[in-house]
A and B are shown apart, each in its own frame.
Chain A
Amino acid sequence: DVKVTQSSRYLVKRTGEKVFLECVQDMDHENMFWYRQDPGLGLRLIYFSYDVKMKEKGDIPEGYSVSREKKERFSLILESASTNQTSMYLCASSLGGGLMPQHFGDGTRLSIL
């Protein structure tokens, strides 16, 4: 089974802090993704990566950056956290090829105070 592990299940940070969310997958997947999920808005793609050190912006990249130094690890960075970034953050991974399903981690519920 695919295992996608997110470093924290719950996280509370303060406005202006730099926040790191970590994600590790154990299936040698090429693609990794970061989403946020808010009530009524569904899943929205923040950033994704299709190879080590490669990244592309998703639909809502503003206020976020990412890092992929190793194939199994994909980090989401909130440069200066704001209250409107309070959300559930979901990491996913998939094999390459363009048609493969994504597998999700358990999610991190982030609160910015």
Chain B
Amino acid sequence: QKEVEQNSGPLSVPEGAIASLNCTYSDRGSQSFFWYRQYSGKSPELIMFIYSNGDKEDGRFTAQLNKASQYVSLLIRDSQPSDSATYLCAVNSPGTASKLTFGTGTRLQVTL
């Protein structure tokens, strides 16, 4: 059973701080990694994806991938109250026709 693990939180950070969200996965053959943001009562929204080891930056968001440690993270700089949401990590494995395995998500709370 392929697994994607996330701490459910809530992770509480003050406004303006860096939020660090972590995800581990079990399938060493995984090739693509995605972060989705989901507001309460809404559907998941893609915010970042990463395929190669290292960092990928997009505005205030940075995705970090370490395949050797089977670890992917999302950093949110200058956190805003509007970033308060659940963040889902998703992982694709080869030979699964674009199927993704999702973690259960980390709830982030940005406090004033």
Least CB distance, A113 to chain B, in whole angstroms: 20
Mask: chain A, 10-37; 1 = CB below 8 Å from B; 0 = not: 0000000000000000000001010000
Write the chain A residue with the least CB distance to B6. A42
Please determine whether A98 and B43 come into contact, CB atoms closer than 8 angstroms: no
Q: Which residue of B lies closest to A31 (CB)?
A: B98
Min distance, Cβ B71 to any Cβ of chain A, angstroms: 19
Q: In whole angstroms, how far apart are the Cα atoms of A98 and B98 in the complex?
A: 4
Which residues on the A side are within 8 Å of B44 (C-beta)? 43, 90, 104
Which among B31, B46, B99 is the interface contact of A103 at CB below 8 angstroms? B46
User: Within A39-56, which residues are at the interface with B (CB < 8 Å)?
Assistant: 40-43, 45, 48, 50, 56
Contact across chains for A99 and B51 when beta carbons are under 8 A apart: yes
Please determine whether B105 and A48 come into contact, CB atoms closer than 8 angstroms: no
Rounded to whole angstroms, the CA-CA distance of A48 and B100 in the bound complex is 11
The chain A residue with its CB closest to the CB of B4 is A42
- What's the tally of chain A residues with a CB closer than 8 Å to chain B? 25
B99 surroundings in chain A (CB, below 8 A): 33, 45, 48, 58
Is B80 close to A, CB under 8 A?
A: no
Which residues of A are interface residues toward B (Cβ below 8 A)? 31, 33, 40-43, 45, 48, 50, 56, 58, 90, 94, 96-107
**A-B contact sample (20 more), CB < 8 A, given A48-B97, A98-B98:** A40-B104, A42-B103, A42-B104, A42-B105, A43-B102, A48-B99, A90-B43, A98-B92, A98-B95, A98-B96, A99-B31, A99-B51, A99-B92, A99-B98, A100-B32, A101-B49, A102-B90, A102-B98, A104-B45, A106-B42
